[in-house]
Amino acid sequence: MVLTITLEEHFISEAVRSSPSVGKLALHQHPPKVQTDIVELGENRIRDMDEGGVSLQVISHIPALEILDVCQRANDQLASAVKARSTRFAGFAFLPMAEPTSAATELERCIKELGFVGTLIPNHANGTYYDGEAYYPFWERAQELGVPVYLHPTPPSPSQREHFEGNYPDDLAQILSTQGWGWHADVALHLLRLYCSGLFDRFPALKIVIGHNGEMLPFMIDRIEARLTNNWGSRDRGFLTVWAENVWVTTSGMFYLNPFASLIRAVRKDRIMYSIDYPLEDNRDGNRFLKEVENSGWLTQEEFEMFTHKNAEKLLGVKVKPT
C-alpha cells in the first residue's frame, strides 16, 4: 500500500458561508459535488480519501480575505474536525492577511493551541503582495514557529484583471486570469518579489510551499538565476540557493508527466510533495497519476516514498499511518 499525504485540500467554513463576502467565492460556478464536498469535514471526505488512496489530508480553508473574527471561527471549526479524525486530518491556519499583525497572532494561536501544522494563505490581499515592511511581523512569526507558509493562487484584483480582458468573452477572460494562466504566473511573481525584496536574507529560515508543479518556475529557473542573481547579486544568497533551502513544491492539480519531468530536474527530491487540490480535483485522478509516476521509473523507490509522504512528514512534523 502506498502511503500518501496531500497538502492543498480545501474546505469552506460555516463562518465564511455566513459572511457578506461569500459571494466572491463564486461557489455556483462549481459542479454540485464540489459545492457539497467543500463544506464537509466528515465521512464523505473520508470516503473520497479512501477511494483515491489518500492516507492523510492537510485541510485548509479555500483562500479568501476575511477579518480576524471570521478566521478564528473557521479555524476553530477545522480544529474540531481534525481532533475528531486526527489520524486522517491535519490543519493549515486560515489568516486575515489584510491585517499582517493579526495574521501573525492568529498563526501562533493555531500552531500552539489548535495543533495546526502551518498555514495556507491567498497570494495577495486585494492586490497587495507580502514583500513590504508591513508584513515583517507575519514572516517573523512564521520563522519563529518554524512552520511552512503555503502561498496559494487567488483571483486577480480588479486592476490585475484588466490585463486578461480582450477580444473574447468575459468567461474566457476569467479562466485566463485564474487557472488557465494568470494565477499560476502571479504566484511565481510573488515568490520572486519576496526574493528581490531581501525577505529571505532578513528571515533565512522561512519555509515556503507553492503548488501546481512550482507555478511555472521550474521551467524558468536557470534564466531567473542568470538575470536576478548573476546580473544583480545584491542578496546574501542567490535565487537558486533560496529555491533549494526555503522552497517546497507540490503537484496539486497537475497530474501530467511532462511538467513533472521538468519539476524533478529543477527541484531537490526532498522538496517535492504530492497533493490533489481536493475537492476541485478528484483524488482518484491523483491516484492514477501516482501510478504513472511510479511506473515511469524516474524515481527510485525511496524517492517515490519521499514524494508521496516522507517529505511532507518531515516538513510538517506529522506521521502518516496505514488505513
Question: What is the pLDDT, as a whole number, of residue 28?
Answer: 66
Compute the distance between CA of residue 59 and CA of residue 69 in angstroms, rounded to an integer. Answer: 20
Question: What is the pLDDT, as a whole number, of residue 162?
Answer: 85
Tell whether omega for the bond before 259 is within 30 degrees of 0, i.e. cis: no
Q: Is residue 311 within 8 Å of 274, Cβ to Cβ? A: no
Q: Is residue 8 within 8 Å of 252, Cβ to Cβ? A: yes
Compute the distance between CA of residue 240 and CA of residue 221 in angstroms, rounded to an integer. Answer: 8
| CA 238 to mean position of chain CA atoms | 24
Specify the residue for cell string 525584496. Answer: 197
Q: Is residue 114 within 8 Å of 91, Cβ to Cβ? A: yes
Question: What is the pLDDT, as a whole number, of residue 21?
Answer: 76
Question: What is the pLDDT, as a whole number, of residue 227?
Answer: 87
Enter the C-alpha cell of residue 317. 512534523
Specify the residue for cell string 492539480. Answer: 253
Phi/psi of residue 56, nearest 5 degrees: -140, 130
Closest CA to 199 of 246, 261, 232: 246
Compute the distance between CA of residue 44 and CA of residue 224 in angstroms, rounded to an integer. Answer: 43
Q: Is residue 16 within 8 Å of 73, Cβ to Cβ? A: no
Compute the distance between CA of residue 44 and CA of residue 36 in angstroms, rounded to an integer. Answer: 10
Phi/psi of residue 61, nearest 5 degrees: -70, 145
DSSP output for 209-241? EE-GGGTTHHHHHHHHIIIIIITT--SSS-HHH
Which one-letter DSSP state was computed for residue 63? S
Please count the residues of the chain.
Answer: 323
Q: How far is CA 68 from each of CA 59, 64, 99, 174, rounded to the nearest angstrom?
A: 19, 12, 8, 29
Question: What is the pLDDT, as a whole number, of residue 290?
Answer: 97
Long-range contacts of the stretch 158-164 (C-beta < 8 A, 24+) = 159/127, 160/127, 160/186
The per-residue pLDDT string of the chain (323 residues; one tens digit each, 9 = 90 and over) reads 799 999 999 999 999 998 877 767 766 677 788 889 999 999 999 999 999 999 999 999 999 999 999 999 999 999 999 999 999 999 999 999 999 999 999 999 999 999 999 999 999 999 999 999 999 999 999 999 999 999 999 988 888 888 888 898 988 888 887 888 888 999 999 999 999 999 999 999 999 999 999 999 999 999 999 888 877 767 888 999 999 999 999 999 999 999 999 999 999 999 999 999 999 999 999 999 999 999 999 999 999 999 999 999 999 999 998 87
Q: pTM of the entire structure? A: 0.96
Query: What end-to-end distance do the CA atoms of the chain give, in Å?
Result: 9
